[in-house]
Amino acid sequence: MAGATRTERDSMGELAVPAEALWGAQTQRAVENFPVSGWRMPRGFLRAIGLIKAAAAEANAGLGLLDARRAEAIRDAALKIAAGEFDAEFPVDVFQTGSGTSSNMNANEVIAHVAHSLGGMAVHPNDHVNLGQSSNDVVPTAIQVGAVLAVRERLLPALEHLRETTSRRAREHIDTAKTGRTHLMDAMPLTLGQELFAWASQIGHAEERLKDTERRLRALPLGGTAVGTGINAHPQFAERACAELARLADAPFKPAANLFEGIAAQDGAVELSGQLNALAVTLMKISNDLRWMNSGPLAGLGEIELPALQPGSSIMPGKVNPVIPEAVAMVAAQVMGMHATISIAGQSGNFQLNVMLPVIAHNLLWAIELSANAARLLADRAIAGFTVREDRLQDALARNPILVTALNPLIGYEKAAVIAKKAYASGRPILDVAFEETGLDREVLAKALDPLALTKGGIVEGLSGGG
pLDDT at 1 over 80: no
What average pLDDT does the structure give for the chain?
95
Which residue has better confidence, 168 or 440? 168
What is the arithmetic mean of pLDDT over 412-431?
Answer: 91
pLDDT at 62 over 50: yes
pLDDT at 113 over 90: yes
Q: Which long-range contacts (CB under 8 A, 24 or more apart) does 346-349 make?
A: 346/265, 346/266, 346/267, 346/269, 346/270, 346/273, 348/98, 349/98, 349/264, 349/265, 349/266
What is the arithmetic mean of pLDDT over 13-37?
Answer: 97
What is the arithmetic mean of pLDDT over 135-150?
Answer: 98
pLDDT of residue 467: 36
What is the arithmetic mean of pLDDT over 432-454?
Answer: 90
Residue 285: pLDDT band by 50, 70, 90 thresholds?
Answer: very high
pLDDT of residue 460: 67
pLDDT at 465 over 80: no
What is the arithmetic mean of pLDDT over 255-267?
Answer: 98
pLDDT in tens, 27-61: 999 999 999 999 999 999 999 999 999 999 999 99
Residue 96: pLDDT band by 50, 70, 90 thresholds?
Answer: very high
Contact 67, 115 (CB under 8 A): no
pLDDT of residue 10: 92
Q: How far is CA 201 from CA 166, 194, 205, 222, 284, in A?
A: 10, 10, 6, 37, 15
Q: Over pLDDT 70: what percentage of the chain?
A: 98
Which residues sit opposite 6 in a β-bridge? 17
Q: How far is CA 155 from CA 127, 149, 283, in A?
A: 37, 9, 13
What is the arithmetic mean of pLDDT over 291-312?
Answer: 96
Catalytic residues: 183, 313
pLDDT of residue 463: 56
Residues shown for the chain = 467
**What's the sign of the alpha-carbon dihedral 364, 366, 367, 368?**
positive
User: What is the helix (H) or strand (E) element at residue 250, kind and residue range?
Assistant: none
pTM, entire model: 0.95
Q: Walk me through the domains of the chain, giving residue ranges and CATH numbers.
A: 21-131 (1.10.275.10), 137-222+239-391 (1.20.200.10), 399-454 (1.10.40.30)
Residue 427: pLDDT band by 50, 70, 90 thresholds?
Answer: confident
> What region, left, alpha or beta, does residue 367 occupy, with left being phi > 0 and alpha being psi -120 to 50 degrees?
alpha
